Structure 1
Amino acid sequence: MVIVGDHESILIPQLDRARQSTGRLRGIRLFHTHIGSSPLSREDVMDMVFLRLDSIALLNIDEQGDPDKFQWAHLLPPNPKNDPYLIHEPVPWTHVDFDFAKTVDSLEKELDRSQASIETGSQSGRCLLISVGQAPRKVLENSLSELADLAETAGLQVAGTMIQRVARVNPRFIVGKGKLSELEVMALQHNASILVFDQELTPTQLRNIASITERKVIDRTQLILDIFAQHATSKGGRLQVEMAQLKYTLPRLVKQDRALSRLTGGIGGRGPGETKLELDRRKIRDRIKKIKDDLQNLRKHRQNTRSKRQQEDIPVVSLVGYTNAGKSTLLNTLTHSDILSEDKLFATLDPTSRRLRFPKDKEVILTDTVGFIKDLPKDLQEAFMATLEELSQAHVLVHVADSSHPDLEQQVQAVENILEQLGLQEKTIILALNKWDRLDDQTRTLVSNTYPMGIPISALRRNSLTDLVQSIENHLT
Structure 2
Amino acid sequence: MTAAFSEDHEDQPINGDLDLAERQALRRVAGLSTELHDVTEVEYRALRLERVVLIGVWTEGTVRQAENSLRELALLAETAGSQVLEGLMQRRSTPDPATYVGSGKAAELSDIVIATGADTVICDGELTPGQLRQLEEIVKVKVIDRTALILDIFAQHARSREGKAQVELAQLSYLLPRLRGWGGNLSRQVGGRAAGGVGIGGRGPGETKIELDRRRIRTRMAKLRRQLAGMTTARDTKRAERRRRKVPSVAIAGYTNAGKSSLLNRLTGAGVLVEDALFATLDPTVRRAITPSGRGFTLTDTVGFVRHLPHQLVEAFRSTLEEVSDADLILHVVDGSEADPEAQIDAVREVLREIGADTVPELVVINKADAADPLAVAGLRRREPRSVVVSARTGAGVEELLTVIEQDLPGLEHTVQVLVPYDRGDVVARVHEQGEVVTQEHTAEGTAMHARVPVSLVAELEEYITTTA
The verdict on a shared fold, with TM-score over 0.5 as the criterion, is yes
Post-superposition offset of 1:421? 1.9
Q: Does residue 231 in structure 1 map to residue 174 in structure 2?
A: no
Correspondences of 1:456-471 after superposition (within 5 Å):
456-471=389-404
The one of 411, 430, 433 aligned to 2:344: 411
* Alignment pair present for 1:198 and 2:144: no
**Residue range with higher mean Cα deviation, 442-451 or 210-219:** 442-451
The answer to whether 1:162 aligns with 2:95 is no
Answer yes or no: is the 8 Å Cα contact 2:52–2:85 preserved in 1.
Answer: yes
CA RMSD across the alignment: 2.4
Given the alignment, which residue of 121, 140, 143 partners 1:214? 140
Residue by residue over 1:397-439, the C-alpha shift from the partner in whole angstroms, topping out at 9 and shown as x without a partner, is 1110111111111111111122122222221111101111223
- Structure 1 residues 283, 188: CA separation in 2 closer, same or farther (over 3 Å shift)? same
Contact 1:253 1:278 in 2 (8 A): no
Equivalent residues of 2:60, 2:93 under 8 A apart: no
1:334 CA displacement: 1.1
Q: 2:55 corresponds to which residue?
A: 130
Per-residue displacement from partner, 1:81-119 (whole Å, max 9, x unpaired)? x9xxxxxxxxxxxxxxxxxxxxxxxxxxxxxx9976847
The alignment partner of 2:236 has SS state of helix
Distance 1:298 1:173 in 2: 41
Work out the CA distance in 2 between the residues paired with 1:194 and 1:445: 41
Q: 1:278 to 1:219 in 2, by over 3 A?
A: farther
- The CA distance in 1 between the partners of 2:372 and 2:318, in whole Å, is 35
1:14 corresponding residue in structure 2:
none
Cα distance in 1, alignment partners of residues 276 and 388 from structure 2: 22
Change (3 A) 1:170 1:345: same
Moved over 3 A (4+): 113-122, 256-260
Any residues of structure 2 matched to 1:93-104 within 5 Å, and which?
Answer: none
Name the structure 2 match of 1:247.
173
Structure 1 unaligned segments of length 5 or more: list them.
1-81, 83-112, 261-276
| Distance of aligned partners of 1:178 and 1:348 in 2 relative to their CA distance in 1, 3 Å threshold | same
Q: 1:440 aligns with which of 348, 368, 373?
A: 373
For the residue of structure 2 that corresponds to 1:462, the secondary structure is coil
In the alignment, the residues of structure 2 paired with residue 380 and residue 311 of structure 1 have an alpha-carbon distance, to the nearest angstrom, of: 30
1:336 to 224, 247, 269: 269
Task: Assess if the C-alpha contact under 8 Å between 2:123 and 2:146 holds in 1.
Answer: yes
- 2:72 & 2:357 partners in 1: Cα distance? 26
Moved more, 251-260 or 183-192: 251-260
CA distance in 1, matches of 2:156, 2:38: 32
CA distance in 1, matches of 2:52, 2:44: 11
Instruction: Assess, with a 3 A threshold, how the Cα gap between structure 1 residues 392 and 448 changes in structure 2: closer, same or farther.
Output: closer
Of 169-178 and 366-375, the range deviating more from structure 2: 169-178
Pairs aligned (count)? 350
Where does residue 285 of structure 1 map in the other structure? 218
Are the structure 2 counterparts of residues 182 and 396 from structure 1 closer, same or farther at C-alpha, using a change threshold of 3 Å?
A: same
Contact 1:322 1:401 in 2 (8 A): yes
Map of 2:256 onto structure 1? 323
User: Shift in Å at residue 257 of structure 1?
Assistant: 5.9
- Which of these residues, 448, 451, 454, is aligned with residue 384 of structure 2? 451
Mapped to 1, the partners of 2:78 and 2:97 lie a distance apart of 29
User: How far apart are the structure 1 equivalents of 2:60 and 2:229?
Assistant: 40
How do 1:370-409 and structure 2 match up within 5 A?
370-409=303-342
- With over 3 angstroms needed to count, the CA separation of the structure-2 counterparts of 1:394 and 1:252, relative to structure 1, is same
Match in the other structure for 2:11 = none
In the alignment, does 2:353 pair up with 1:420?
yes
In 2, are the aligned partners of 1:207 and 1:259 still within 8 Å (CA)?
no
Instruction: Describe the SS at the equivalent of 2:370.
Output: helix
Equivalences for 1:329-368 in 2 at 5 Å?
329-368=262-301
Of the structure 1 ranges 156-165 and 210-219, higher mean CA displacement relative to structure 2 is found in 210-219
- Deviation at residue 371 of structure 1 after TM alignment: 0.6
- Which whole-Å deviations, capped at 9, do the CAs of 1:131-150 have from their partners, x for residues lacking one? 02422433321110110111
Q: Tell me, what secondary structure is at the counterpart of 2:288? A: strand
5+ residue gaps, structure 2, are 1-27, 29-36, 187-209, 414-469
d(CA) in 2 for partners of 1:411, 1:279: 41
Counterpart code for 1:362: R
2:45 equivalent in structure 1: 121
8 Å CA contact retained: 1:246, 1:288: yes
SS at match of 2:309: coil
One-letter amino acid of the structure 2 residue matched with residue 299 of structure 1: T
